[in-house]
Structure 1
Amino acid sequence: MEKLKMHSPDLSQENIAKIRELFPGCVTEARDEKTGKLRLAVDFDQLRQELSDHIVEGPQERYRLDWPGKREALALANAPIAKALRPCHEESVDFNNTQNLFIEGDNLEALKLIQETYLGQIKIIFIDPPYNTGGDFIYNDDFSEGYEDFLVSSNQRNSIGERLVANQETNGRFHSDWLSMVYPRLRLARQLLRDDGVIFISIDDGEAGNLRKVCDEVFGEENLIANVVWQKKYTRANDARWFSDNHDHILCYAKQKIGMTLNLLPRNESQLSAYSNPDNHPKGPWKATPLHAKSGTNTSPFKFKNGVTWAPPAGTFRRFNDASMREMDENNEVWFGADGTQTPSRKSFLSEVKDGVSPVTIWPYDEVGHNHEANNELKSLGLGGLFNNPKPSRLIQRMLELATSPNRADIILDFFAGSSTTAHSVMLQNAADGGSRRFIMVQLDEATNEKSEAFRAGFKTISAVSRERIRRAGKKILEGDCHPDWNRDVGFRVLKVDTSNMKDVYYRPDEVKQSDLLDMVDNVKEGRTAEDLLFQVLIDWGVDLTLPIRRETVQGKTVFFVDDNALVACFDRGITEDLVKELAGHEPLRVVFRDNGFVTDAVKINVEQIFRQLSPTTEVKAI
């Protein structure tokens, strides 16, 4: 019986597999020095022959962004991890029914763990990563450098400390650390986006240039949609040394720009007020628009039926040909002013224009909120003063309006959740339009400062504050006016990143010594529950982590039914042939048992044959 791998995917191996599809002769198998197992490997000599005219190597100049640590960051993104997501009922809200997730732990590990489950399924990613203030990052990923190491790796000193450049750039270390932190996370994020998905990234001027170059590499320069400027403050800081910093950038990239569209924004009251109907035209409200354009070829005059002759102003051209002009004139769709003597204009009717307006790249605070509004939102929930410069929910709601639909269960991911403004915004938007959007929040269990308001309020970690914000926001939203079609899902299922549920023997059985055999009879760690094992199996098999889970007792054994028959799992010992036959009768898509859970070796051997007879489409595996 085949065993589940119980670790995140090895993206390097997946990339090599893609190369094999294009150049099968350039990929071979080699034995891994650490595990002794066969792995795919690239024959670079053969690949060079295939691409001999298109290779850039060595010190040859090329257009790219480099920094000390980039190679390690890329390797980190691709490397698999043997970790687990453990469910936590007591910190969840409506665990059994909600479609939302809150993952506590390092977001790089979380992104790796959900790769197979949500590959190509996320519609929007919004992240507000920590801005580079020239200090150390809590997301250091074990390869951030000290000052002396940076001077060597950036070729400013050699290995014995001799200076290689006249002016040493020490600040580059912090840029390098920041880029090494964000780069692998963006690479994993792209994998999760749908083909029509988009990512919004909030950043200040300090790293906006570097972030854009990184995103060009990860998502492709051709997939940049916009660099939005958000007016985050509405007051001027007169004590600023140079300029009052009143904006942030929001970079927006598509996974595949060709073929994807953004929604139009609804017209606001000011835009609607431009339309009126002073002449009671049967088509309804209209506004006057010019008959001329900046480009074209036709500059000839046109005579209307009222005797007025019009020609485009100097340097401009007619927007419409004679036939169109005559049709507008006959249908009373040309406006000559209230007195009938003014320069003619076309009547553009509200009923004939698009249902909304195109977004612009400047988002003023009166449309999408500002930092002070965001603080007031937290205060209204009893959580004021706990975060510096939080984002207002209206800002994220603007993104949801542009890139999601209430008619689809779009998934929104934020892996720098912070105060969980994104989750709050998703619930607000669903309550407003009856949508069924879902959220996945990821937040590190970073300790709060002992001198902070959060600590004094009893919150020991940022993730605890983040979850409490969702609880309070959800309760408040339900107390207000909600769209009748909304499913009123304000819950979230909490999963926590932890070490694997499996002992090392599961991954490296060849390294077990004979003296260790008694300790290795069970390959599951002490203290891990059957539900812990279930969620690691869901991750390994790529099953949605929010599916309903039903626990039943069948023939005296605990059996989990995930979404009825999407997956059936039994991790008890003493499994009999009769139990196997009964589970096969449910015809599940997948079934999993504990490898040493069968009453006899004969039963274990017969499991696959039983399913082949009673439920041939079931995939059978063990842990």
Structure 2
Amino acid sequence: MNKNIDLNDNNLDFLDKEDLLKILKNMVNGGVSLSFYGKRTAEEIYKKVRPRVTRVNRKLCVGTEEQQAKNIILEGENLQGMVTLYKYREQVDLILTDPPYNTGHYFRYNDKWDSDPNDPDLGTLVSEDDGSKHTKWMKAMMPRLHMMWKMLKPTGVIAICIDDNELFHLGMMMNEVFGEENRIGIINWQKSYAPKSDSKHMSTGTEYVLVYAKDKSLAKTGLLPRGDTTNSKYKNPDKDPEGLWRNDNATVATVVEKDIYAIQSPFTGALHYPGARAWSFPKKTMKEWLEQWGSKYIEKSIEDGRVSALVIKDAPIPTIPLDRNLENNPVVESEDVFHSPVIQLSREAANNIMQNNVWPTLFFPNNGYGRPAIKRYLKNVKRGKVPLTYWGDDNYDTPFELGTQSWNYEESGHSQTGINELDEIVGKGHKFQTVKPLKLMKKIIQLWCSSDGLVLDPYAGSGTTGHAVLELNQETEAKRKFILIEQGNSEKGDKYARSLTQERIRRVITGERPDQNGVLVQKHKSINSGFEFRILTKQIDASTVLTMKKDELVDLVITSHWENERRSSSNLIRIENSKCRYLVGKNDDNEGYFIIWNGDDQVGQLDLETYGTIIEEAKREKLNGPYHVYARYEVFQSNSVKFYKIPDKILAHLGLNENSDPYNETEGEE
């Protein structure tokens, strides 16, 4: 229970009749309930939130029109944002989010929300000594949890990060909104591995992720079955008794200094570095695998500005040129080293093992001349293991079931790792002190979002969730999409949805990173992805739609359109073509979408003349039928046209009825 309330508690004075009756009924029935001042209002207030007009900021979008249509960064208040994204209701596979912790440093509350949830102001900072800080936090979270529930598919899962300040309160709210029976697990992950000296009793080294399903009987933990095409990539050239395997990357994106060092090849004597990444296994393990190639390895400083290298004992070391960039050119070779007696003996031993023995886990492709790689076994994949996994124990003899699990930092990363990852992308000075590590977010996405699923983060922060989706798509050839909602701290004009969230995701896609002087340089290959950057603006109703400029209405149509029969694939790709008068977009089936204009900013009607123009534009752009047409009136009909009346159909797509009532005030909806 949120707090114990008895008949002598002064808080009873603030409760209304319905709240008091609920408490008494639970007391009589021996049940447990969550009670706090303003709870009933918090449970109902989200129904009064109205959708808003969204505008695309083209300067902040990334990628082609097709790439932009897949992902969204939405700048604005998240409750209003989720209501506005009505077409995604019941379309989200995973909600993964990290709301502001109630520590007196990050959480803000707007008192106006108690009566008007449409107020966009973030409110004031709730201090640590505020006597109602827990109540304010719960009043802010409760309506947003209800909206998150609505956004999820029937098979969907929600994972919320939290610390011990509100762990119990959040758990009680999740039990009420999602149902205790739908709790999948409580993850305990290690955020730090060294105790802090600022605690009088116990130093907090863990945080939590509460994982609930919308319907636990329908939700799945794990991956979708793999096909024969994927399995065909696995071979067994060395007759490994563990079975079929394929080579995998021996590095990870998480840059930790102790894991960035040189490895000397037993075949060529060349030095191999992890590039702009880091070796993915502990140094002790890497040394054991290298020695399985028949040579003794030692740790030795080779004065390359990195930690001690793993080199062959008594072997010569290639000279590293002073101007050598070891991130972009991670291999240092030398003819003299290659032909030295020590390396010749090492090569003979390694070749003998390659030809006659099972190869070690760390091996060198291309007959020993390639970069170090790791074996990944198909049998583990068949057990549901992801090829690029971060679990500590890779062997599961029974089907995976999650109850209350503890993940150490080697599996999930720790909080400092998250800050380091953000520093590496946007540089220092971002002022974020709590950033979740990519390992943690990627692991959750791997478990509870299918490879073509949609991930929503209503508290996007610095954009770690979007970053994790993009990285996983690259690593596992997945096609997951994301929606990130972030308003940022609007004080002093700092809406970091633009300055930080958008910039981080943009650099993940472009591969740009700041160098030591803060100048952006190309450090990684670009990613085949993109996103659309949208901004919440004014509230919407029929009169708002009818007075919109052309560009505004095009944005609204692109944002709001969906079709009942194929909502999951109803994203529209905007088409900007000066030669087209009415064409504004197309869907994944190459069907055209048109808005009829009578003049620059007045909606027209569908008649024989405008229909003829539509046919001409569709043929010129090689679009398929049927043609989707938005107009004020329809005085001409055709079997090749799907007609959408303005503003009625647009309002319906935003969840508003003809009288512009909020979609979720309808009685008996659920």
TMscore range, shorter length = 0.5 to 0.7
* C-alpha distance after superposition, 1:543-596 (max 9, x if no partner): 968421224567x73331332426432344465531135537864364211x3x
SS across alignment from 1:497: strand
Question: 1:246-325 residue pairs with structure 2 within 5 A?
Answer: 246-263=205-222
Q: Distance in 2 between matches of 1:201 and 1:244?
A: 23
SS across alignment from 2:153: strand
Match of 1:123 in 2: 93
Match of 1:583 in 2: 614
Match of 1:368 in 2: 412
Match of 1:20 in 2: none
Q: Distance in 2 between matches of 1:283 and 1:525?
A: 65
Give the alignment partner of residue 615 of structure 1, picking from 615, 636, 640: 640
Q: Distance in 2 between matches of 1:141 and 1:567?
A: 43
Give the alignment partner of residue 570 of structure 1, picking from 559, 575, 596: 596
Give, in angstroms, the shift of residue 264 of structure 1.
7.3
Match of 2:635 in 1: 606
Q: Distance in 2 between matches of 1:447 and 1:415?
A: 17
Q: Does 1:532 align with 2:555?
A: yes
SS across alignment from 2:88: coil
Match of 1:472 in 2: 507
Aligned 8 A contact 1:501 1:525 in 2: no
Give, in angstroms, the shift of residue 419 of structure 1.
0.5
Match of 1:378 in 2: 422
Distance 1:572 1:175, change over 3 A: farther
Give the alignment partner of residue 84 of structure 1, picking from 30, 35, 53: 53
Aligned 8 A contact 1:87 1:532 in 2: yes
Q: Distance in 1 between matches of 2:595 and 2:147?
A: 29
Give, in angstroms, the shift of residue 439 of structure 1.
0.9
Aligned 8 A contact 2:42 2:114 in 1: no
* C-alpha distance after superposition, 1:18-41 (max 9, x if no partner): xxxxxxxxxxxxxxxxxxxxxxxx
Q: Distance in 1 between matches of 2:582 and 2:626?
A: 16
> Which residue identity lines up with residue 491 of structure 1 in the other structure?
G
Match of 2:446 in 1: 401
SS across alignment from 1:262: coil
Aligned 8 A contact 1:568 1:592 in 2: yes
Give, in angstroms, the shift of residue 193 of structure 1.
1.3
Q: Highest Rg: 1 or 2?
A: 1
Question: 1:541-556 residue pairs with structure 2 within 5 A?
Answer: 546-552=571-577
Match of 1:192 in 2: 151
Aligned 8 A contact 1:428 1:477 in 2: no
Distance 1:282 1:397, change over 3 A: closer
Give, in angstroms, the shift of residue 124 of structure 1.
1.1
Q: Distance in 1 between matches of 2:550 and 2:572?
A: 25
Distance 1:242 1:415, change over 3 A: same
Distance 1:569 1:191, change over 3 A: same
SS across alignment from 2:66: coil
Match of 2:14 in 1: none
Give, in angstroms, the shift of residue 394 of structure 1.
0.8
Match of 1:599 in 2: none
TM-score by length of 2: 0.56
SS across alignment from 1:194: strand
Match of 2:354 in 1: none
Distance 1:548 1:355, change over 3 A: closer
Give the alignment partner of residue 441 of structure 1, picking from 460, 476, 484: 484
Match of 1:423 in 2: 466
State the aligned residue count: 422
Q: Distance in 2 between matches of 1:199 and 1:137?
A: 21
Match of 1:107 in 2: 78
Structure 1 unaligned spans of 5+: 1-55, 146-169, 266-279, 286-348, 507-522, 596-603
* C-alpha distance after superposition, 1:4-51 (max 9, x if no partner): xxxxxxxxxxxxxxxxxxxxxxxxxxxxxxxxxxxxxxxxxxxxxxxx
Distance 1:473 1:281, change over 3 A: closer
Match of 1:214 in 2: 173
> Which residue identity lines up with residue 524 of structure 1 in the other structure?
T
Aligned 8 A contact 2:562 2:571 in 1: no
> Which residue identity lines up with residue 88 of structure 2 in the other structure?
Y
Distance 1:241 1:619, change over 3 A: same
> Which residue identity lines up with residue 486 of structure 2 in the other structure?
Q
Q: Distance in 1 between matches of 2:240 and 2:551?
A: 74
Q: Distance in 1 between matches of 2:420 and 2:241?
A: 47
Distance 1:527 1:139, change over 3 A: farther
Q: Distance in 2 between matches of 1:401 and 1:232?
A: 20
RMSD after superposition? 3.7
Aligned 8 A contact 1:568 1:591 in 2: yes
Distance 1:399 1:569, change over 3 A: same
Q: Does 1:413 align with 2:452?
A: no
Match of 1:74 in 2: 43
Give the alignment partner of residue 499 of structure 1, picking from 523, 528, 538: 538
Give, in angstroms, the shift of residue 531 of structure 1.
2.6
Match of 1:489 in 2: 528
Aligned 8 A contact 1:85 1:535 in 2: no
> Which residue identity lines up with residue 400 of structure 1 in the other structure?
I
